[in-house]
A = this chain, B = another copy of it.
Amino acid sequence: MENPGCTHAWRTLAEKPRTMLVNFTKMVVKLGKDDPRRIIHSFKFGFALVLISILKYFRPSFYAFGDNIMWAVLTVVLVLEFSVGATLGKGFNRVLATGSAGALAVALRKIASYSGDKGKLVLTSVTVFFVAGTVTFMRFSPRLKARYDYGMIIFILTFCLVSLSENSENDLLEVAQERLLTIIIGSCIAITVCICIFPVWIGQDLHNQIASNVVKLAEFLEGFRDEYFNNLENTAEAENDKPFLHRYESILSSKTSEETMAVLARWEPCHGRFRFRHPWNQYLKIGNQIRLCAYKIKALSVFLLRSDTTPYEFRSRIEEPCTNIIMESVKALKESSVILKNMAKSPMPNPHVANAKNAAESLKSVLRTNPWEGADHLEIIPVATVASLLIDLVFCVEKICEAVDELANLANFVPSELLHRGTVQPISDNDGSVHVISIAE
C-alpha cells in the first residue's frame, strides 16, 4: 500500500530543485532583458581572456617568464569593468600604483641591503609596517577612496611583494620591469576590448539616468492629477496597480549611485557629444534637486492613498488651479528632460516655469477667497495640505529647470530653435515680460 504522505514528501523533494532551476532561469533572463549590454560585457570578458591565451600561444616570447602570463590575466580580470570610465580608472590606478610602489620598494631595499642580515629584516619590517599602515589609513578618506581606492590597494600589494621577495636586487629590477610590462599589456588589452567592442560610457548612463528621473517626476505628477481630481472612490484599492505612481521611488535612494557614476565618468575621454571635461558635478547638483522634489512627492503621495476620505466636492473646488500647476510643472520638467535628451539648449528661459509660478499665484488667490466656507475644518485640511505642497513643488521644479539650464551653459549645449514644438500659451510673468512661442510642427 502506498503511503500518500511519503509520496507527497518525495514529490516536494523533487519539486524543489526544479523550482530553483526555474527561478534561476527567470533571474538570468530578467538580468539580460533589463540591460542587454550585460550579455555583451560577458562576451567581452571571455574574449579578452582568450586573447591573452592566444597571444601566449603565438608569441611565447612575450612572456619570457612562464609565470608572467599570470600578471596579464590578473590585470585583465581585475581591470576590465562594465563601463569605460571604471576600466580606464582602474587601469590608470593599477599601472601608476605598480610603478610607484615598485620604485619605492626597490629604493628602500637598496638602502636596507647595506645593513646586515638581521638589520635588513628589521628595516624591511619597519618600512612595510609604516607604508602599509599609512596607505591603509589614507583609504578611509572618502575623497581619496572615491577615486584612488584600487590604486592604494595595489600600492600596498606591490610594495609588500617587492619588499618581501627573495630575489636578489639585480634579479629584482629585471623581474619588476617584466612585470610592469605585463601589467601594461594586460591593461591595454582590457582597455582596448572595453572601448572598441560596444563600449558602455558611464557618463552617458549618468546623463540618461538624470533625464529619465526628471521624466519619472513628471509621470508621477500626471498620475497624481488623474487620480486625485477624479470622482471615483476606488482610488485606494487600485493604487497598487499603477506603476507610474511608484516609479519615482528609485530616485529617493539614488544619491550613492549617482556619485559613483560621476567619479567614474571623469576618467572617460571625449565620446559622442561629451567632452573630456564635461561638467559632471552639475549632474550631481541636478540629481540633488530632483531628490528634494522626490521627497516632496513622497509626502504628497500619502494624500493620494487617503483621497477617498476627503469628499470629491472639496477637492474639486481647487481642481482648476491645482491642475494648472501640475500641467505647467509637468511641461517644465518635460522640457528640461528634452534639453538633456537632445543636448540642445533652449533659446529662452523655460516658459512653463513662469506659467507654473503664475498658476501657484492663482491657487493662492483661490485659497484666499476661502473656497471651503462653512465646511468641517478637519475634512478640508488634507486638501489644503495638498494645495500647500503643490505650491512648494513649483519652487522645486524651478530649481531643477535652473540646474538643467546651468548645465546647458556649462557644457555648451547647442542652441536649438526647434526645441519647442506646439504652442505655449502667452502668460505674463511676475516682472511683466511676455513670452510668446508658437512654432508649427
Q: Mark A365-396, 1 if CB is under 8 A from B, else 0.
A: 00111110000111001101101110010000
Instruction: Give CA–CA (A185, B262) in the complex, Å.
Output: 39
Return chain B residues, CB-CB under 8 Å to A164.
52-53, 56, 69, 73
Bound CA span A27–B144, Å? 11
Given contacts A57-B121, A137-B31, A295-B295, contact A388 B392 (CB under 8 A): no
Cβ-closest 6 pairs across A and B: A46-B129, A46-B133, A299-B299, A42-B137, A253-B255, A42-B133
- Would you call the interface of chain A mostly helix, strand, loop, or mixed? helix
Given contacts A45-B136, A46-B130, 13 further A-B contacts (CB under 8 A): A45-B132, A46-B132, A46-B133, A49-B160, A54-B121, A73-B161, A73-B164, A77-B157, A77-B160, A256-B257, A295-B298, A370-B377, A381-B384
Q: Does A28 contact B (CB under 8 A)?
A: yes
Out of B50, B57, B141, name the residue touching A27 (CB < 8 Å). Answer: B141
Write the chain B residue with the least CB distance to A300.
B299
Identical subunits present = 2
Residue of B47, B66, B377 touching A368 (CB-CB under 8 A): B377
Enumerate chain B residues within 8 angstroms of A330, measured Cβ to Cβ.
none
Bound-state CA distance A378–B367 (Å) is 6
CB distance from A23 to the nearest CB of B (A): 11
Question: B35, B125, B253, B295: which contacts A299 (Cβ < 8 A)?
Answer: B295
Question: When each residue 136-150 of chain A gets 1 if its CB lies under 8 Å from chain B and 0 otherwise, what string results?
Answer: 110011000000000
Check if A39 is an interface residue, CB within 8 A of chain B.
Answer: yes
